[in-house]
Amino acid sequence: MNRQEIISCLKQTEPAELKKLWDSADRVRAENVGQAVHLRGLVEFSNICGRKCRYCGINAANTKVRRYQMSKAEILDSAQTARKLGYGTVVLQSGENRKLDVYFLAETIKEIKQTIGLAVTLSLGQWDREVYQLWKHAGADRFLLRFETGDDELYRRLHPDSKTGVAERFDALRLLKELGYEVGSGVMIGLPGQSYQSLADDLLKFKQLELDMIGAGPYIKHQDTQLGKDIEKFLLDAKEQVPATEEMTYKVIALARLLCPQANIPATTALATLNPKQGREQGLCCGANIVMPNVTPVKYRQMYEIYPAKACIAESAETCNACMLKRIESIGRYVGSGRGDSPGFLNRAQMGVGL
């Protein structure tokens, strides 16, 4: 699939043609990663961040945010909850906090691996090789680092504190793969200033990077961010601007599946925020095979507001899990067991490539 074909799919509006796209992606998903939906327990252990990304509600410039960091005991308790609910992975996520005690996190990772027995995914932003290596040696299995947009000009506008532009993300992703992590990345869909051409290039970049995990969710405006306040200054002409819609998100999930058949692709919380009734289910029918239920203590969830009105911030982990099981069963799928590593990563591991 070339750039122009991808752009045509992104601009497609005919229901019959879109159904063909959904069905093709769903078939490729079934052939490559099966019918299982793997659940990852998400722990948002801190909202402290030193970056000033203009789209994110917890960026350092937002003084309205009440900052927090969970204790090791709280993180371990959340991981234990994930284990009890049958999840094979816990995702430790926070803002990019340079004041984070990296050894504290390494010890926490070790305890999760040794006493709870879950795979550990990290989503903590950009760090130096030595820190990535420390966490890998502690037992971390995967790392998620979105590049958000491959359009360097737009990336720099959205990340005013970036010194090297989007290259900083691509360099980090290559380093993570070199260190043996299972590596994930992704983009926001409908970012103000995002063109169809640049989004098509992002999809091709997924393939070029040979990503093990691909996250793609819609941009949701946060009123207390610079982008949220100045959105009109970023928007392109209506014919060129990618819309931040539910349908566009399904298109990107489907195209990502067709381009990267063996990747793990989540139906994101942002999608469920746009459509609480069926957003995740539809995403799973368009090529996705992962869901990340939130196991963060409820008292912290409202403070991790990267965008407003996030789905599932008031329900307990147990309530969310019961709901998710019913939703997955309703589309004829089942919850997977074990770690749920991507086939692409396992194939590379067997051949010793990039590890």
- What's the whole-number average pLDDT of the chain? 96
Kindly give the parts of the chain with pLDDT less than 50: 355
Token pair in block for residue 277: 């009734």
Q: How far, in Å, CA of 341 to CA of 182, rounded? A: 8
Q: Note the pLDDT of residue 11.
A: 98
Strands (E) across 114-196 are located at 119-123, 142-144, 182-189
User: Given the structure tokens 């407003």, which residue do they identify?
Assistant: 308
Q: How far, in Å, CA of 164 to CA of 143, rounded? A: 21
Report yes or no on whether pTM surpasses 0.85. yes
Backbone conformation region of residue 242, classed left if phi is above 0, alpha if psi is from -120 to 50, else beta: beta
Q: Where are the domains of the chain?
A: 3-348
Q: Note the pLDDT of residue 353.
A: 58
Question: If one looks up domain 3-348 in CATH, what number appears?
Answer: 3.20.20.70
